[in-house]
Chain A
Amino acid sequence: MRISTSMIFEMGTSNLNDLMSNISKTQEQISSGLKIQTPSDDPVAAAAALGVTQAISMNTQYGVNRQNANDSLGQEESNLSSAVSLLTSVQSTVVAAGNGALDDSQRQDYVTQLKSDLSQLLGIANAKDSQGNYIFAGYQTQSQPFTQTSTGATYSGDQGQRMLQVSPSRQMAISDSGATVFEDNPTGNGYFVTAAGTGNTGTGIISQGSVSDMSQLNGQTYTLTFSVDPSTGDTTYLVNPPPTTPATPQPFTSGDTITVGGAQFNITGAPADGDTFTVGPSTNQSVFTTLTNLINTLSTSGEGAVNQTVMTNGLNAASANITNALNNIAAVQASVGSRMNELDDLDSQGSDLNIQYTQTLSDLQDIDPVQAYSSLVQQQYTLQAAQQSFVSISNLSLFNYLNT
C-alpha cells in the first residue's frame, strides 16, 4: 500500500498531539485533585455530586440550627431553674410564716421577703436572651410580656412556641410561652379547689382534699353552708346545689371526712353559724396572682382566733397553689432538658451523616492519586517513544542515498 509523504508527517503529528493533550488532561486532574473538570468527564457523577453537595450543606445548616436551639433552650433552662429555686424558697417561707407563735410584725418581715421574691420572679419572667428578645413572650419577642398589677400580673404575650428545623424531619420548639410556664397553674389539688368563705367568723379550716370518685367530678361548684343550732350547739351543714342524695342538713364533727360530688375533704375547727365553704373545679391561676394573694394574706393581721383561721386557710391555699406552680415549671424544665438531650443525639447523627456524605462526594469526584500518577508516567513514556520514533522515521528518505 502506498503512503504519501505528507501522510507520514500528518499522522505522526496528530498522534503526538493526542498524546500531548492526554498528558495535559492527566496533569490538570492531578493538580486540581478532581477527576471531573467539566460535567462531560463523567455526567452521572457530576449530577450526583451536585446532590451530595446540597445534602452536605443542608446537614451543616441543621447543625447550626441545633446550636441556636441549644443556646435558646439553655437560656430558657437557666431561667426556669432560677424560678424553681425561688419558688422552693417561697414554699419554706409559707411554712415558716404559718407558725402560730409569730406576731404581725414578724410576719411583716416575711411579707417583705415575699415582695422581693415577687419582683425577682417577674424579672425572670421578663428575661431577655442574648439578642434582646423576651424569652417568655411567645411570638411577641420585642414587647415585655408581664406587667405587674395590684392583683398579680397581666400577660400580654401570646401562646406561640418558636420552632426550628433541627433535622430534615424534625421541627423542635425552642421556647415556651409565658402562659405555659407562669399562667396555667391549676389551683387546689389539680382537680378541685376548696375555699373558706370570705366573711366567715368561725374557726373552720378546710383541707385541700383528694378525689374519691373521678366520674362525679363534672365541673360543678358546691357551697357548704353551716348552721349552728343555738340551743343544742349542734353544727350542721347544707350542700348547695345538692348532690344526688336529697338535701338534708348533715351533722358536722370537726375532722370528719366530707364527700361531695366525688371530692373528699375535711373541716377542722368550729365553723360559726352562716359560715360557708366552697368546693369547685380547679381553674388556672397565674403564679403572680398566687404570690400576690399570699402577700395580701400575710399582710392582714393574724391576731385573734378568727384572723388566725383566715390566715391559715389562706396559707393552705397558697401552699397548694405554689406547689402546683412549682411542679408546672419543673415539668417545663424537664421538657426543655429532654429536648436538649434530643439535640445531642441529633448532633451525633448529623456528624455521622457528614462523614458519609463527604466520603460519597470524594468517591464521586476525587482522583485516585496512585492511579493518576502511574497514568501520567505511562503517558510520558509513550510520548517519548512516539517522539523518538517519529524522528527516526521522518529521516528516512531515498534522497539521502542519491549522491550523484
Chain B
Amino acid sequence: MANILNIAQTGLFAAQAGLATTGNNISNQGVAGYSRQQVIQTTAGEQNTGFGFIGDGTDVSTVQRVYSSFLATQANSAQSTLSQYNSYYNGISQINNMLGDSSSGLTPAIQNFFTSIQDLASNPSDTASRQSVLSTAQSLASTFQSMASQLSSDQDDVNSQIQGSVTNINAYAQQIAQLNESVAAAQSTGQPPNDLLDQRDELVSELSQEANVTVVNQDGNYNVFIGNGQPLVVGDAAYQLQTVPSSTYSGQLDVGYKNANGSLITIPESSLTGGNLGGLFQYRSQTLNSVQNSLGLIATGIAATFNAQNTLGVDLNGNQGTDFFSEAAPVVTPNTNNTGTAAVSASITDASALTGSDYSLSYDGTNYTLTRLSDNTAVYTGATFPTSSIDGVQLSQASGTMAAGDKILIQPTANGASDFNVLITNPSAIAAATPIVTAVSGTNSGTATISTGSVDSTFTSATVATPVTLTYDAADGTLTGFPSTMPVTVTANGTSTTYAAGDPVPYTDGSTIEFGGAQIQISGTPNDGDTFTVSSNTNGTGDNRNILAMSALQDADTLLGGTASYNDAYSQIVNEVGNKTQELNVSSTAQTQLLTSIQTAQQSESGVNLDEEATNLIKYQQAYQASAKVMQVANEIFSSLLSIDQ
C-alpha cells in the first residue's frame, strides 16, 4: 500500500517535470535556435509480488531536446552558400546601380565630348568652340575619375567588410570554445545541458554565415575547421584569424592566421569559399577588379588614340600637336615574398591590343613565364626576360634580377580611369589642322590632281621645311623633286615599292606616294613639266582635317583587338555586370527557397508549436490530477484500513 503512494508520487513528479518542460517550451518559443524539449519517462522497475510483476511507477530519465544534427548541417551549408550569394550580390549591386545611371554615366560624357568635336570641325578657328571641346573633355575626365573613385571606395569597403567578418569569426570561435568547456563540465553530470547545446549550435549557424566551416563532434566537443583544414576551435582552445595585406595585390586584404611558430600564413582565397567572406572574395576577384580594369582600358584607349591623332596635327599657332590626355602607366607590383632585386616597369605600346586582364610574371630559376590571368594562358615562356610587346604591354627591367620563385603582378589598365586627365589647357593647342597642304600649279596643262595629303607618326616638319615641288617628266614618266635625304615609297594596287633618296619615282595614276611621313596621291594625266607642291600648312586656321579624323574615332573599332569602339567596350561592361547581378539575384532567390525548405524541416522537427504545447499542458495537468487522485485514494484506503478497529 505504501507502494501506491510512491507510485502516485512518481506520477506527480513526472507530471510536474512535464508541466515545467512544457512551460519552458512555451516561454522559449521565440528564442532563435531553441529546440523544443521533451520529458522522457521510463518505468521505474517492477517487483515480483508472487502473483505478477507490479511496476514501481515512473521515472523521468532525461529531458531531451528534439534536434537533428543532419538537418542542422544541411542548413548551415545552405546558409553559407546563401550568404555568399548575398554578399556578392550586395557588392555588385552598387556597381550595377552606378552603371545604370544613364544621365550621368560614361555614355553621355563620351557623346557630349564628340558633339563638341564635331562642332569644332565646322569652325576650327573659333575660340569658343575650342574651349567647349576642352570643357567636355574635362567632364569626360571627371566622369572617369568619379567612377574610378567609387570603385576604389568599393575596394576599401570590401577590405573593411573582410575585417568585420574576421572579427565576427574570431568572436564566434571564442564563444564556441567557451561553450565546449561548459558543455563538457555539464555533461560530466550525465545529463545533456540542452540550452548550452542549443547556444553552441546557434553559434555554429551564425559562423556559417561568415564562412564555410566543418564541424567535427568529438566526445561532445565541437571542433571547428575553416578553409582547407585550418583549425578554428579545438576543444576549449580557439585560434584567431587575422587580416593580412595581400602579397600579390597591393591595397587588398587577405585572411591569414598565426601558426605554431608565430609566422603569419595567408589562407588562399580559393579555399575560403562560402559565407560572407567567400562572397566578398568572389566579388573582388571576379567583378570589382575586372570592372576597374575594363574601365581603365576604355580610358587608356581614348587617351592613346586621341594623343596619336592630336600629335599628327598642328594647332592654331602652327605648332605640332601635343598629348591631349594623360596616359596612365601600368601598375607593377612585386610580390611581397620576392627575394630577387629586379626593378621592373611596364609601358603600354598598343592600346588596341590591350585585353583588360592582369598578368603575372614568374621566374623559376631557368625560365621566365608571363601568364595572362583572365584565362590562365602563358603568353610568354623563355630563358630571357621578356622585352617584346605582348598584348599591347612592354616590360622592361631597369636593374637587378628576379630570383627563383619570384612573382610580379602587372596590371596594365588598373589606373587607366583614375589617372585620366586632360593635359591641354590652352584652346589654341587643339591640333585641328594637318601639317601639310598640297597645290597644283596654275601653269599646269595636264589634268592631274593631287590629294589634300595626310601624315603619319614618322612625319616631322623637316619633311616640308622647304616646299617640295614635284615635277613630272613625260619622257620617263617619272616624278622628281622629292627631298634629297628621304626615300620614297609608292603603293599601287596593294604592292609597295621603295625608291632610294634622290632617285626619280615612276608615276602611276592614283598611287599613294609616301616620303618623310607625308602621304599624297596624284591622279589623272599630267603633261610634261607639270608641277605639284607639298608644303607646310602655315596660317591654315580653317583646316579641319585633323579634327575630322578625331571625330571619326567615336565609332571606330579601336579597342580589344579592333573589335570594339569605346561605347561597345562600355556596353560590354554594362552587359557583364548586369548579367552577373541578375544571375546572383536568381541564385540568391533559389538558394533562399532551399534554405527556407530546410529550415521548415528543421522547425517542423525542433520548433515549438503552441497548440501542441497547449495539448501537452492539458495532458500533464490531467496526469497530475490523476496522480493526485491516486494519492487521495491511497490515503482513503489507509484511513479505512486504520478505521477497521474503530
Contact = CB atoms under 8 A, between A and B. Distances in A.
Interface string B596-635: 1001100111111111101101100000000000000000
Interface in A1-28: 1-7, 11, 14
A170 B542 CA distance: 20
Interface in A328-383: none
A54 B107 contact: yes
Interface stretch (B215-223, B267-275, B399-407, B565-573): B565-573
A273 interface: no
A184 B119 CA distance: 32
Given A139-B542, A141-B541, A397-B611, A39 B100 contact: yes
B96 interface: yes
A160 B599 CA distance: 80
A4 B608 contact: yes
A14 B578 CA distance: 26
A160 B579 CA distance: 51
Contacts of B582: 40-41, 43
B585 interface: yes
A283 B542 CA distance: 29
A43 to B, nearest CB: 3
Contacts of B210: none
Contact of B610 (A11, A282, A284, A397): A397
A142 interface: yes
B552 A165 contact: yes
B638 to A, nearest CB: 31
A11 B582 CA distance: 24
Interface string B433-447: 100011110111100
A229 to B, nearest CB: 37
Contact of B542 (A42, A133, A284): A133
A257 to B, nearest CB: 25
Interface in B438-463: 438-440, 442-445, 452
Contact of A39 (B444, B445, B568, B577): B577
Contacts of B389: none
- The main secondary structure of chain A at its interface with chain B is mixed
Size class of the contact patch on chain A: 35 or more
Interface string B104-145: 000100110011001101110110000000000000000000
B296 to A, nearest CB: 19
A398 interface: yes
Nearest to B101: A38
A398 B552 contact: no
A159 B440 contact: yes
Contacts of B551: 165
Contact of B445 (A72, A143, A283): A283
Interface in B529-577: 537, 539-545, 548, 551-552, 554-555, 567-568, 570-572, 574-577
B96 A38 contact: yes
A385 interface: no
A44 to B, nearest CB: 7
Contacts of B111: 53-54, 57
Contact of A399 (B29, B570, B571, B614): B614
A6 B125 contact: no
B603 A7 contact: yes
A140 interface: yes
A51 interface: yes
Interface in A387-404: 397-399, 402
A366 to B, nearest CB: 13
A163 B542 CA distance: 10
B549 to A, nearest CB: 10
A22 to B, nearest CB: 12
A61 B115 contact: yes
B121 A65 contact: yes
A142 B100 contact: no
B528 interface: yes
A162 B542 contact: yes
A383 to B, nearest CB: 19
B578 A64 contact: no
Contacts of B339: none
A142 B125 contact: yes
Interface in A227-284: 281-284
A261 to B, nearest CB: 14
B494 interface: no
A164 B543 CA distance: 11
Interface string B487-509: 00000000000000000000000
A143 B440 CA distance: 21
A164 B121 contact: yes
B603 A140 contact: no
Contact of B574 (A50, A161, A286): A50
A5 B438 CA distance: 91
Contacts of A46: 100, 574-575, 578
A158 B439 contact: yes
B30 interface: yes
A159 B437 contact: yes
A262 to B, nearest CB: 14
Interface string A42-78: 1110111111011001100100110011001000000
Given A40-B585, A54-B107, A139-B543, A159 B438 contact: yes
Interface in A122-140: 131, 133-134, 137-140
B123 A139 contact: no
A5 B121 contact: no
Nearest to A14: B596
A219 B608 contact: no
Contacts of A142: 125, 539, 541-542
B118 A141 contact: no
A183 interface: yes
A139 B574 contact: no
Contacts of B125: 133, 141-142
A80 interface: no
Contacts of B527: 219
A37 interface: yes
Contact of A163 (B444, B540, B544, B603): B544
Listed residue (B99, B578, B579) with the most chain A CB atoms within 10 angstroms of its CB: B578
Given A3-B603, A399-B610, A39 B118 contact: no
Nearest to B617: A402
Contacts of B146: none
A315 interface: no
B255 to A, nearest CB: 29
A184 B96 contact: no
B452 A161 contact: yes
A2 B618 CA distance: 19
B413 to A, nearest CB: 20
Contacts of A92: none
A138 B542 contact: yes
Interface in B380-432: none
Nearest to A131: B123
B80 interface: no
B564 to A, nearest CB: 11
Interface in B315-341: none
13 contacts: A2-B607, A4-B609, A38-B578, A40-B577, A50-B574, A51-B571, A54-B107, A57-B115, A142-B539, A164-B121, A164-B544, A184-B442, A402-B617
Interface of A: 1-7, 11, 14, 36-44, 46-51, 53-54, 57-58, 61, 64-65, 68-69, 72, 131, 133-134, 137-143, 158-165, 168, 171, 175, 179, 183-184, 219, 281-284, 286, 397-399, 402
Given A40-B581, A46-B578, A159-B437, 18 more contacts: A3-B604, A4-B609, A7-B600, A39-B99, A42-B578, A43-B575, A47-B572, A51-B567, A51-B568, A57-B114, A64-B119, A131-B126, A133-B542, A137-B542, A139-B539, A140-B539, A163-B544, A284-B443
Interface of B: 29-30, 93, 96-97, 99-100, 102, 107, 110-111, 114-115, 118-119, 121-123, 125-126, 433, 437-440, 442-445, 452, 527-528, 537, 539-545, 548, 551-552, 554-555, 567-568, 570-572, 574-579, 581-582, 585, 596, 599-600, 603-612, 614-615, 617-618
